[in-house]
């Protein structure tokens, strides 16, 4: 797909302006929801979906080629598994640093601070970040792949018709 290929739904100056204005704020809000999952309403799942919705909005407004440049598929592949690895890695770290004395996912023994309870809070934050990364990457992946499929079918349909 070339860059100057037109997005099938056309372009609109209103959409592009509003999108440029809103997307940074949506992403900032998503990061706030993920980080603030421990202190208020929010968490990894919700924040990840909000972050993914900003990419979905970008794709709808600017088209597949531009969105693919901003959020490349290769990075997406890695991000999808990075979140799960981060979660399981935090859990495994608890076992490793205490040489197998505590259970998997027992955050209190992470070597972060010297307070048992603070360690649990920080471990929860790390885990929420992992969840957020995975959810964001997967939702974006699903939407991008559906759009690719759609474009593919419209292209081949046109070629067949002509």
Partner 1 sequence: MKQISVGALLFVLVLGALFVYVAEDIPDFGDPNSAPNRYTPLFTLDATGSVDVLNQGNVPEALIEALTDRGFRDYELPTSVKGLTEGEWDAYLVPEETYYNIPTAKFGTAPDAPKEQKYFYLKQEGDKLEVYRYAPIIRYVEEGEHETEVPNMVTYILADYRGYDTLGETTVIFTAGISVILLLRRRGKQPT
d(CA 139, CA 137): 6
**Residue 33, token pair as written in the block:** 């929801």
d(CA 121, CA 112): 10
Applying CB under 8 A, what is the total number of residues that bind partner 1?
63
Give the residue, chosen from 30, 43, 52, 58, that forms a contact with partner 1 under the rule CB under 8 A.
43
CA-closest candidate to residue 37, choices 109, 106, 121, 138 = 121
Minimum CB separation of residue 139 from partner 1 in Å reads 8
Is residue 133 within 8 Å of residue 79, measured between CB atoms? yes
8 near partner 1, judged by CB under 8 A:
no
138 near partner 1, judged by CB under 8 A:
yes
75 near partner 1, judged by CB under 8 A:
no
CA-closest candidate to residue 30, choices 139, 118, 144, 147 = 139
31 near partner 1, judged by CB under 8 A:
no
Q: Which residues bind partner 1 (CB under 8 A)?
A: 1, 37-41, 43-45, 64-65, 68-69, 72-73, 77, 80-81, 83-84, 87-88, 91, 97-98, 101-121, 123-124, 127-128, 130-131, 134-135, 137-138, 141-142, 145-146, 148-149, 152
């Amino acid at each position: 797909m070339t860059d100057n290929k037109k997005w099938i739904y056309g372009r609109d100056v209103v959409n592009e302006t509003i999108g440029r204005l809103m997307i940074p704020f949506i992403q900032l809000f998503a990061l706030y929801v993920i980080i603030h999952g421990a202190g208020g309403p929010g968490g990894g799942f919700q924040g990840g979906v909000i972050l993914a919705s900003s990419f979905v909005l970008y794709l709808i407004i600017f088209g597949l080629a531009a969105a693919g440049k901003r959020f490349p598929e290769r990075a997406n592949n890695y991000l999808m598994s990075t979140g799960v690895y981060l979660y399981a890695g935090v859990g495994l770290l608890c076992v490793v640093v205490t040489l197998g004395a505590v259970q998997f996912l027992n955050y209190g023994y992470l070597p972060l601070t010297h307070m048992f309870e603070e360690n649990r809070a920080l471990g929860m934050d790390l885990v929420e970040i992992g969840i957020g990364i995975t959810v964001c990457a997967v939702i974006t992946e699903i939407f991008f792949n559906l759009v690719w499929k759609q474009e593919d079918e419209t292209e081949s349909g046109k070629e067949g018709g002509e």
